[in-house]
Structure 1
Amino acid sequence: MITPAPNVPAIASTPTFTDTEIKPSQTIAANTTTPPTISETLTLPPVSVIATEVPPVKSTPKLANIEWLTKFRGIPGIGVNPVDAWLNETGTTSDPTCRDTRSPSCDKHYRDPLVDNWAAIRLTEVKIVFYKDELEKLITFSGVGSSISNWFHINRVLASSWTTLVGRTYGYFSLEGDAGNGQRFFTASPYQGCTKDRIFTLVITKQVASCAFDRHSSYPQFLFVTGDGWGYPENMTGIALADSFAILIK
């Protein structure tokens, strides 16, 4: 008698994958995909945008940009010699309201006491300026290694409103000038007689000489050439009387 075979459960068929299921081949493909590049994941702003966000580098200040400082202002007609005021403080004030050459006139010359420490200032340049209405005429000198009295010298001239200033023969070129005749801050040719005397600058502090340009109703008076060449003070050809006079340093 043959014994019948026992009931064996049917073998389940291999399931099929639908479109919504992950197939092994898909998993492998995902694992072998090339990683995205940096350029695909990070967007950089244009170079021009980055540049505008960087603060500009500050340049080192140049000597030419250093401000001129007024250390002396000479006032016409107040009866005090400007050279004595500059060197010895005679008849001066340190009131800053008298420093401005365009302000109402003061009854004293303005002088900054800082100039008493001339060597310690370590200045590089000094200049004198004559003012008449809107006209300004000046001479700039090297101040390096100078003293309060010797910076005014032809060999120290760096620049001037008068292009013909350098290269001439002078009888006087100094702030002391011809002290005996009361002629200071004096740049003049050798004396040739009143009508032939020639100058660029002249501060008359008193009447001693007999020339017409030495005679004034009050002193000091600040004379300067308005053109580019010599002026003739006897008849005031090319000459003006300054409203104000200043010494500046930097």
Structure 2
Amino acid sequence: MYKLKFFLCYISMILAGVKHVCSEEPYESRYMEERLLEKMTEIDIKMQIALGKLDKMEETKNRQRGGVSSLLTSGPRALLVKDLEDDGWEMIFRATAGNGQSAYEAWTTGVGTCVDKPISMARSYASHYRNSIILNWANIGIKYVKYAYYDGTQEVAYVIFNASGSDMNSWFDKTRVISSSFSDLTTANNFNYFSIPGEFISGHRARRFLINKHYGGCDSDRGHLVVSENEPINTCNWDKHPTYPQFLYSKINSADYWNRRMFGRADYMAIFIKTN
């Protein structure tokens, strides 16, 4: 018991710089034991605070690796990319809402993209991420593509495609749909647009990666997913946003009316591939 108390006192002296605590025999006074325990408690608290600061520094560093620092938010921990890449999936592209850069141009040309894969899906205004493996699409042996939207800490919409024999754009087609998060987004359903390039509106292509069910005037337009990239002149309210791009999705289990503003706005759009 004496050796244990002396050892604890010695460790405390080294960590805290306390010399006088161990200057008397450990068994001479209960007061000295209490003082020692107090000092050790103080040291433990300081160490926990220091470790907490180190964890925050590491988290900030990881967020900054993707480009611009993430906005710190409270609540559940953000999704980690490595957790989304289970079962053989690999994220090769991630577009960020509101960063002012075209998601379509980033996907098709790589303009303004970052080559460093993000660590997490924590909300940020980082550049779009693009893996150069896209340029070698035909030789990779891609079997499946997953197109997905992420909002906060959850996946809010997805479509999985059969990508065998496709190129970097032709996989995005109704005839290739295997499954989705929407009950009416299947090969058996009809769409007036199912296209990565999207459509011209007032001379501009504002709606990219467009999966739309029906057009009948702004209030009757119904769809599932769209990347809204700019605000054309004389267009619908659902094309108008404070920042671009925006990743809009139906919040119900089927196509919904865009102009009723019931759609969701995702933080990210991501594309995954699987080769086996």
The equivalent residue for 1:241 is: 265
Shift of 1:103: 3.0
Q: 1:39-69, CA deviations, whole angstroms, 9 ceiling, x for partnerless residues?
A: xxxxxxxxxxxxxxxxxxxxxxxxxx84110
- In the superposition, relative to structure 1, how do residues 218 and 187 fare at CA in structure 2: closer, same or farther (>3 Å)? same
Partner AA of 2:210 in structure 1: F
Partner AA of 1:204 in structure 2: S
The equivalent residue for 1:95 is: 116
Q: Of 96, 109, 112, which aligns to 2:131?
A: 112
The equivalent residue for 1:204 is: 228
The reply on whether 1:122 has 2:141 as its aligned counterpart is yes
> TM-score under structure 1 normalisation?
0.69
Instruction: Output aligned runs, 1:174-189, within 5 Å.
Output: 174-179=195-200, 180-189=204-213
Which whole-Å CA distance do the structure 1 matches of 2:146 and 2:93 have between them?
Answer: 11
The equivalent residue for 1:140 is: 160
The equivalent residue for 1:227 is: 252
- In the superposition, relative to structure 1, how do residues 223 and 104 fare at CA in structure 2: closer, same or farther (>3 Å)? closer
The equivalent residue for 1:215 is: 240
Shift of 1:106: 4.1
- In the superposition, relative to structure 1, how do residues 106 and 95 fare at CA in structure 2: closer, same or farther (>3 Å)? farther
The reply on whether 1:158 has 2:178 as its aligned counterpart is yes
Alignment check: 8 A CA contact 1:199 1:232 kept: yes
Shift of 1:92: 0.4
Q: 1:144-197, CA deviations, whole angstroms, 9 ceiling, x for partnerless residues?
A: 000001110000001111121123221100111114341011011232110100
Which whole-Å CA distance do the structure 2 matches of 1:225 and 1:100 have between them?
Answer: 27
Which whole-Å CA distance do the structure 2 matches of 1:110 and 1:127 have between them?
Answer: 16
Alignment check: 8 A CA contact 2:214 2:223 kept: no
Partner AA of 1:123 in structure 2: I
Instruction: Output aligned runs, 1:28-107, within 5 Å.
Output: 66-96=87-117, 99-107=118-126
Partner AA of 1:223 in structure 2: L
Which whole-Å CA distance do the structure 1 matches of 2:140 and 2:87 have between them?
Answer: 14
Q: Secondary structure at the match of 1:182?
A: strand
Q: 1:72-128, CA deviations, whole angstroms, 9 ceiling, x for partnerless residues?
A: 0010111221111001001100112xx345234243100011111001111100011
Which whole-Å CA distance do the structure 2 matches of 1:226 and 1:110 have between them?
Answer: 26
Which whole-Å CA distance do the structure 1 matches of 2:92 and 2:100 have between them?
Answer: 20
The equivalent residue for 2:190 is: 169
Which whole-Å CA distance do the structure 1 matches of 2:119 and 2:198 have between them?
Answer: 26
The reply on whether 1:149 has 2:149 as its aligned counterpart is no
Alignment check: 8 A CA contact 1:181 1:207 kept: no
Shift of 1:217: 1.1
Which whole-Å CA distance do the structure 1 matches of 2:87 and 2:93 have between them?
Answer: 18
Alignment check: 8 A CA contact 2:213 2:223 kept: yes
> TM-score under structure 2 normalisation?
0.63
- After TM superposition, the structure 1 stretch with the greater mean CA deviation from structure 2, 127-136 or 116-125, is 127-136
